[in-house]
Amino acid sequence: MNSVKAFAPATVANVACGFDIFGFAIKEPGDVVELRRCDEPGIVIADIIGDEGRLPRSAEKNSVTGVMLHMLKHLGIKDFGCEVVLHKNMPLGSGMGSSAASAVAGVMAINEMLGQPFTRQELLPFAMEGERIASGSAHADNVGPSLLGGFVVIRSYNPLDIFTIPVPDDLYCTLVHPDIEINTKDARFILKNEVSLKNTIAQMGNVAGLVAGLMKSDYDLISRSMVDVIIEPVRSILIPDFKEVKQAALSNGALGCSISGSGPSMFALSRGLENANNAATAMRARFAQAGIESAIHVSAINQGGAMILTD
Ligand SMILES: Nc1ncnc2c1ncn2[C@@H]1O[C@H](COP(=O)(O)OP(=O)(O)O)[C@@H](O)[C@H]1O
Ligand SMILES: N[C@@H](CCOP(=O)(O)O)C(=O)O
């Protein structure tokens, strides 16, 4: 195969109470990666469209190509050569799993070009290496759902134990990206290493409640469980008017609202598209009141995840 194109969607990680263990994919936006086979061995970034020249052009430092190098090394392939074009369709440091979408599109594309030596599930550890390149931490709550689709739970990192759970058909996500930038690396650095027993108990209750609520389509339980007593209180100070934007979502039909990934994006979950749209309008209006422009994305949960594009 001489050329391949792959798409990988944006994701909402943590989902309030599930720091590093919950994430889901949305339909759009997402990154697109094009690979073109060359005779010369090595992986070369030929172009990145949409990053305003900000992303690393060195193959080792960019999450889209870093993961390919890991895969080739693992397979012991030395004579493979390709050019990479990355269509960067989401902002950097967004909390929308931008680095993860590139990594996932990268592993999908090269796996296809090599004749699928790995199953989709087996691609996950390679995609996680992209997160290590971007933020210094190989967390799977963005790459997992971007690759596999659906609502993902990471029960364990060592050994890796990851699975998807069903969600209600009528569940919609509102994702609001304010025009500010927060790097995941920085947002992880400010977290405390110790958690009180009281907060651990509260968080475990909410984690269990959210899983059960999603699996039983119990919207009240989903709503009651979308509470994060550990991470949100620390990170929310990085987002201007966080409390007010959250309140705007909750007062306009959302079941719950929190930080998407490490921020600055905020997400809400709602029952039905109308509530999700109302929450979007209210959240954007509240950010505007603080003098901050924002982009909104309203979407059902993306059950398919990344895909090879044929056109
Ligand atoms: N292909 C890529 N796409 C996005 N960010 C990348 C990529 N490759 C490397 N990075 C680096 O990752 C960081 C952004 O990732 P991160 O902080 O996790 O933000 P996000 O929440 O948007 O994924 C930036 O420092 C950026 O230079
Ligand atoms: N669990 C991670 C998720 C980071 O998501 P991103 O979309 O901000 O890259 C964290 O919270 O640090």
pLDDT-derived band at 81 (thresholds 50, 70, 90) equals very high
The fraction of the chain above a pLDDT of 70, given in percent, is 100
Catalytic residue among 11, 65, 129, 131: 131
The fraction of the chain above a pLDDT of 90, given in percent, is 99
- The pair of three-digit structure tokens given for residue 202, joined into one six-digit string: 């509260």
- The pair of three-digit structure tokens given for residue 253, joined into one six-digit string: 């039909």
Domain shared by 35 and 112, yes or no: yes
pLDDT digits (tens, 9 = 90+) for 131-155: 999 989 999 999 999 999 999 999 9
Residues with CB under 6 A from ligand 1: 55-56, 62-64, 92-100, 102, 133-135, 183-184, 261-262
Q: Is the pTM of this model over 0.95?
A: yes
271 phi and psi angles, rounded to 5 deg: -90, 110
Q: According to the model, what pLDDT value does residue 260 have?
A: 98
Domain shared by 12 and 149, yes or no: yes
Active site residue 131: yes
Domain shared by 86 and 24, yes or no: yes
Domain shared by 118 and 94, yes or no: yes
| Number of independent structural domains in the chain | 2
pLDDT-derived band at 195 (thresholds 50, 70, 90) equals very high
Nearest CA to ligand 1 atom 24: 134
pLDDT over 90 (residue 231): yes
Q: According to the model, what pLDDT value does residue 136 have?
A: 92
According to the annotation, is 97 in a ligand binding site?
Answer: yes
Domain shared by 108 and 30, yes or no: yes
DSSP labels for the chain? --EEEEEEEEEEESTTT-TTTEEEEEEEEEEEEEEEE-SSSEEEEEEEESSTT-S--STTTSHHHHHHHHHHHHHT--S-EEEEEEE--S-TT-SS-HHHHHHHHHHHHHHHHTT--S-TGGGHHHHHHHHHHHHS----TTHHHHHH-SEEEEEEETTEEEEEE---TTEEEEEEEES----HHHHHHTS-S---HHHHHHHHHHHHHHHHHHHHT-HHHHHHH---SSSHHHHGGGSTTHHHHHHHHHTTTEEEEEE-TTSS-EEEEEESHHHHHHHHHHHHHHHHHTT--EEEEEEEB-SS-SEEE--
According to the annotation, is 113 in a ligand binding site?
Answer: no
Nearest CA to ligand 1 atom 2: 99
Ligand whose nearest atom lies closest to the CA of 67:
1
Question: How many angstroms separate the CA atoms of 190 and 234, rounded?
Answer: 8
Separation of 157 CA from ligand 1 center, angstroms?
21
Domain range holding 180?
171-300
Domain shared by 161 and 18, yes or no: yes
According to the annotation, is 166 in a ligand binding site?
Answer: no
pLDDT over 90 (residue 112): yes
pLDDT over 90 (residue 290): yes
Probe ligand 1: pick from 99, 180, 189, max atoms within 8 Å of CB?
99
Q: Give the position, in ligand 2's atom list, of the atom nearest the Cα of 182.
A: 8
Question: How many angstroms separate the CA atoms of 146 and 33, rounded?
Answer: 14
According to the annotation, is 91 in a ligand binding site?
Answer: yes
Domain shared by 87 and 111, yes or no: yes
Q: According to the model, what pLDDT value does residue 194 have?
A: 96
Domain shared by 24 and 137, yes or no: yes
According to the annotation, is 102 in a ligand binding site?
Answer: no
Of 284, 287, 207, nearest in space to 241 by CA: 287
Domain shared by 189 and 144, yes or no: no
The CA-CA-CA angle for residues 250, 154, 177, to 5°, reads 40
Identify the CATH number of the domain in which residue 101 sits: 3.30.230.10
pLDDT over 90 (residue 311): no
Q: According to the model, what pLDDT value does residue 224 have?
A: 98
Active site residue 184: yes
Domain shared by 48 and 96, yes or no: yes
Domain shared by 51 and 108, yes or no: yes
pLDDT over 90 (residue 1): no
The CA-CA-CA angle for residues 164, 168, 174, to 5°, reads 90
pLDDT digits (tens, 9 = 90+) for 13-48: 999 999 999 999 999 999 999 999 999 999 999 999
Q: Give the position, in ligand 2's atom list, of the atom nearest the Cα of 235.
A: 11
Mean pLDDT of the chain: 97
Ligand whose nearest atom lies closest to the CA of 132:
1
Identify the CATH number of the domain in which residue 246 sits: 3.30.70.890
Q: What strands, in cross-sheet order, belong to the sheet with 266-271?
A: 254-259, 266-271, 171-178, 294-300
Domain shared by 237 and 104, yes or no: no
Nearest CA to ligand 1 atom 18: 184
Query: What's the mean pLDDT in 253-268?
Result: 98
Residues with CB under 6 A from ligand 2: 13-14, 19-20, 95-97, 139, 141-142, 184, 187-188, 261-262
